[in-house]
Amino acid sequence: MSGKHVAKDQPTAFEFNEVNLKRIQEILKKYPPERKKSAVMPLLDLAQRQHDNWIPNAAIKKIGEILEVPYIKVYEVATFYTMYNLAPVGKYFVQVCTTSPCMIRGSGKIVNLCKKHISEKEGKLSDDQKASWIEVECLGACVSAPMMQINDDFYEDLTEETATKIFEGIKSDKLPKHGSQKGRVGFEPNKRLTLVKN
Amino acid sequence: MPKVKVDGIEVEVPQGATVLQACEVAGKEIPRFCYHERLSIAGNCRMCLVEMEKSPKPVASCAMPVADGQVIYTNTEMVKKARQGVMEFLLINHPLDCPICDQGGECDLQDQSMKYGVDKSRYELNKRSVKEKYMGPLIKTVMTRCIHCTRCIRFAEEIAGVPEIGAINRGENMEITTYLEKTLDSELSANVIDLCPVGALTSKPYAFEARPWELTKTESIDVMDAVGSNIRVDTKGWEVKRILPRINDEINEEWISDKSRYACDGLLKNRLDTPFIKVNGKLQACSWVDAFKFISDNTKGFTGDKVFGAVGDLVDVETMYMFKKFFKDVLSSDNIDFRSKNYFIDPSHKANYLFNTSIARLEEADLVVLVGTNPRLEATILNTRIRKAYLARKTKVYSIGDVGDLTYPHENVGSSFSAIGDILAKNGKIYNSLKSAKKPVFIIGESGLSANGEYVLETIKKILKDNNFLNNDWNGLNILHQNASSVGAIYLNLLKSNFLDKLNDDTSKVVYLLGADEIKVKPVNKFIIYQGTHGGINSKIADVILPGAAYTEKQGLYVNTEGRVQDANKASFPPGDAKEDWKILRALSDVFKKTIDINSHLILRENLFKEYPIFKEVDELPKSEIDSLTFKNVTPVNGNIKIADFDFYFSNIIAASSKTMDECKKAKQILQKTGTDN
């Protein structure tokens, strides 16, 4: 594995929109004025959300200016954390969990579907530039394995059919409801409540 | 003060010291990579592990503060094993390319792995490789060798004040880089090469030039500015291969500017190595005898006010003394000046033209007022002290005259002379800060003294006097000179009023330029003698060229802007037929049949010391005799202080001849044009 992939094609300018500028003011209120550089992570997150799930260098510079810290310091943070994307990942960023529990429950099939429906290579944008997928380590939803995360939402209890439906939903911008795709609510046991009875 | 026991030796160290420092007091050597006395503590290399009683694990001594009663062991089996383990980890990804690495022979990693490491590696996987980064024309990067000590990051952020280096990615993928791989925008950037404990950052101009053990090392003094940084000149044969800083806490600590370090390749180029005379408008190489005869033939009958002597910016004290003597004894003249542009100097009292606060004590300042000076360019090393003061106590810095980025925040209060008058009249922002200041510093640059210099100087003296900051405890009056020869020349009283005006009118018949490259001379109806080291504008207009020795090629005294006399040693010798400058003047006096009876450098110095005892006290700060300082009343003036453009990389003839300085200048221009936005 190598360091973070940083996009070669960079937009020349980045501006926070009105709503986010207000949010920045709210975020900055949480920190003492002389330590406002502490707000670097929430601001990077805001930038990522505003800018189609990835942070361009222009945004890093902008954040440096807002927080009055050198650009390299913002850049360090952005490259340190895996959840900041520094290259386009598409409007729908699919993260498929492939750690042991999900693997046992068939995450390999989901990965194959990703290859079929999104792009052949991991981390590559789909042909319509709308989505990309990566394998990730445990997302902490082993009880409903296999699962994947699309942007902020978990899609759990996947089968090949439900996953295909989701990927088709990506293409038509109509994603099914997130959560268990099998209709479970509290992630109760599949058939009967065993623990209490025994 | 806490007492600690190190290997059975009890030592007492100041509160707040670290265990590593305590071990050093006890005379124990602690290996380290990331720790550096002049940088903040990072504690990330783990090489300095020691055993501490009651601690189950070894502790990183560089980051552990001392506490009373600590018992430290530095030579136990645990420490040895810990060091070996750390060393093995550091070497996992470090390439075994010492034979082709420029750091070889002076590499901390090499030395310490010999002393503290194990002789084999157990690592069987592939080593990682890291792409080279571009850090400008001075720093060559081989980032695979980097061990992530982060010294360079801390230097750029803390000392240089250009936080442009950082560590991106994490874990095994961590890499040191500049933001978007830009040139480091600092005049101190090359110091990271010295700081780098491995061969990751090495010197680009010096790449593959020599091995450290092949070089002859000579301790010397830098002449690129008036700070007088202490340097070590490394030579191989005649060639000056590189220049490194020497530690002097009073002046440059352990940094030097990029110009001091890299202008030395200018010593190899564009040199004058044989005398020339102008025949039919063309310069022709000739012998010394012919050149001397040509001079004596063409200067016959011209003495006193008709002869002009201009002293250049890199001339040592002995040469200037000899020059003065030559003018007095041979030409019966005292028509000598060292200024290539007009600015006011009052030689009546030392305090009037020295940097009285001293460079080291600048750190204590709680208010700095810059009057017509840009210390970042004019005296880079001195600027780091102001930055240090700013970091320590948020020292307020005001500038009269627009100076641009100084690496620390400062406030511009316009460039009008009235800004100074306001302080005297107890008005304005600066006065408000001055009221609460305990150790204020006024720094007046050459630009500040160029128009209405007397008004500027006397007003600031009066301000300081009125507020009682001009006494033996604290003297806030400072003149910042730009040239290494300036203060020495003032000590020798090489000043003449209206020198520059008269130089270019009809009265001047003979002009003797002693390394004077910056001065503008109109070559009409004049006989011009140029004695110097490099071909330049003034050597082209000369009728005779006498090739002299550069600062690394002769023993000489230099006086820095504080008035501190320092001895520069001879590291190399002048090229070709060139001679040491005092010898040329001695020989020339023979031709005029008025021999100056000085036949060795030793006798020359004896004469100098006898006539000017002030030069005797080498390396000492001159004594403050502030009580005898006189004051003058001056009338307020109108107008503005204009800070003259200062071309940092081309400020003298050696730097202007240097290829490296040219590259630096170009890199800077590209940086200014594109900024960080591309």
Distance CA B261, CA B245 (A): 8
pTM of the shown model: 0.92
Q: Which residues in chain B are closer than 8 Å to A70, comparing Cβ atoms?
A: 157, 163-164, 166, 179
Distance CA B599, CA B447 (A): 40
CB-CB under 8 Å, B175 with A72:
no
- pLDDT band with cut points at 50, 70 and 90 for residue A1: very low
Q: Which residues in chain A are closer than 8 Å to B172, comparing Cβ atoms?
A: 1
Q: Which residue in A has a C-alpha nearest to residue B129's C-alpha?
A: A2
Nearest CA to B130 out of B141, B117, B114, B139 is that of B141
Q: Which residues in chain B are closer than 8 Å to A12, comparing Cβ atoms?
A: 677-678
- Residue by residue, what is the 3-state secondary structure of B134-171? CCCCCEEECHHHCCCCCHHHHHHHHHCCCCCEEEECCH
CB-CB under 8 Å, B163 with A2:
no
Strand partners, B232: B219, B244
CB B50 within 8 A of CB B59: yes
Distance CA A4, CA A80 (A): 8
Helix, strand or coil, per DSSP, at residue B64: coil
- pLDDT band with cut points at 50, 70 and 90 for residue B505: confident
**Chain B residues with CB-CB distance to A under 8 A?**
157, 163-170, 172-173, 175, 178-180, 676-678
What mean pLDDT comes out for the span A189-194? 73
Q: Which helix H or strand E contains B245, and what residues bound it?
A: strand B239-245
What's the order of all strands across the beta sheet hosting B216-221?
Answer: B216-221, B230-236, B239-245
The CA distance from B166 to the nearest CA of chain A, in Å, is 6
Q: Which residues in chain B are closer than 8 Å to A71, comparing Cβ atoms?
A: 179, 676
Task: Give tens-digit pLDDT for B136-147.
Answer: 999 999 999 999
Q: Which residues in chain B are closer than 8 Å to A73, comparing Cβ atoms?
A: 163, 166
| Tokens linked to B296 | 């004596």
* Interface mutation vs chain A, best among B129, B164, B165, B170, most A CBs within 10 Å: B170
Question: How many other β-carbons are positioned within 10 Å of the β-carbon of residue B646?
Answer: 17
| Tokens linked to B566 | 């320092």
- More reliable by pLDDT, A197 or A127: A127
Distance CA B196, CA B108 (A): 9
In this prediction, residue A135 carries a pLDDT of 94
> Considering CB atoms only, which of B165, B170, B678 is closest to A72?
B165
Helix, strand or coil, per DSSP, at residue B55: coil
The CA distance from B348 to the nearest CA of chain A, in Å, is 48
ipTM score of the complex?
Answer: 0.86
Quote the distance between the C-alpha of residue A110 and its chain's center. 17
CB-CB under 8 Å, A79 with B180:
no
| Tokens linked to B285 | 């190489």
Task: Give tens-digit pLDDT for A67-124.
Answer: 999 999 999 999 999 899 999 999 999 999 999 999 999 999 999 999 999 999 998 9
The CA distance from B181 to the nearest CA of chain A, in Å, is 10
The CA distance from A180 to the nearest CA of chain B, in Å, is 34
Distance CA B334, CA B338 (A): 12
> Considering CB atoms only, which of A1, A57, A79 is closest to B180?
A57
Question: How many other β-carbons are positioned within 10 Å of the β-carbon of residue B447?
Answer: 26
Distance CA A83, CA A79 (A): 9
CB-CB under 8 Å, B173 with A3:
yes
What mean pLDDT comes out for the span B181-201? 93
The reply to whether omega before A146 is within 30° of 0 (cis) is: yes
* Interface mutation vs chain B, best among A68, A72, A86, most B CBs within 10 Å: A72
- pLDDT band with cut points at 50, 70 and 90 for residue A198: low
Distance CA B675, CA B182 (A): 9
CB B257 within 8 A of CB B651: no
CB-CB under 8 Å, B677 with A12:
yes
Task: Give tens-digit pLDDT for B214-235.
Answer: 999 999 999 999 999 999 999 9
CB-CB under 8 Å, A76 with B168:
yes
CB-CB under 8 Å, A70 with B179:
yes
Max Cα-Cα span within chain A: 64
CB B479 within 8 A of CB B355: yes
> Considering CB atoms only, which of B166, B168, B677 is closest to A3?
B168
Q: Both ends of chain A: CA-CA distance in Å?
A: 47
CB-CB under 8 Å, A70 with B164:
yes
CB-CB under 8 Å, A72 with B173:
no
Average pLDDT in chain B: 93
Question: How many other β-carbons are positioned within 10 Å of the β-carbon of residue B576?
Answer: 12
